[in-house]
Amino acid sequence: EAGVAQSPRYKIIEKRQSVAFWCNPISGHATLYWYQQILGQGPKLLIQFQNNGVVDDSQLPKDRFSAERLKGVDSTLKIQPAKLEDSAVYLCASSLARGLNSPLHFGNGTRLTVT
């Protein structure tokens, strides 16, 4: 089966600019996650979707971050405006079921550098 696809792989922007990341989950996976991984740390959950509805976005900085999952398949994560501390790898993951009831599958991530 095809894995989780993410693009772009790398992005460099200046602070206060905007950026968007795209994710295509494994076919049939109802649950989609966006994680932020800062260098040297574990992934931190930003938002979790079940089909096209938001399950949890308690750790999403909503003043600058937004995410959507139209038609319950692809998802985009946007940052506007970016800050220096947003420099990180943004990981998309998908699974058949909510939480850890089924294996989590990760994409290769997008490495964002904010200068």
Partner 1 sequence: GIQVEQSPPDLILQEGANSTLRCNFSDSVNNLQWFHQNPWGQLINLFYIPSGTKQNGRLSATTVATERYSLLYISSSQTTDSGVYFCAVEFASGGSYIPTFGRGTSLIVHP
**Which CB contacts under 8 angstroms, 24+ apart, belong to 78-81?**
78/18, 78/19, 78/20, 78/21, 79/18, 79/19, 79/20, 79/112, 80/18, 80/19, 81/15, 81/16, 81/17, 81/18
Note whether 66 binds partner 1 by CB under 8 A.
no
CB 35 → partner 1: shortest distance, Å?
A: 8
Smallest distance from the beta carbon of 16 to partner 1, in angstroms? 27
Choosing from 43, 49, 77, 90, the residue that interacts with partner 1 (CB under 8 A) is 43
**Can you tell me which of 24, 48, 75, 94 binds partner 1, judged by CB under 8 A?**
48
Please count the residues of this chain forming the interface with partner 1, following the rule CB under 8 A. 26
Any contact of residue 45 with partner 1 (CB under 8 A)? yes
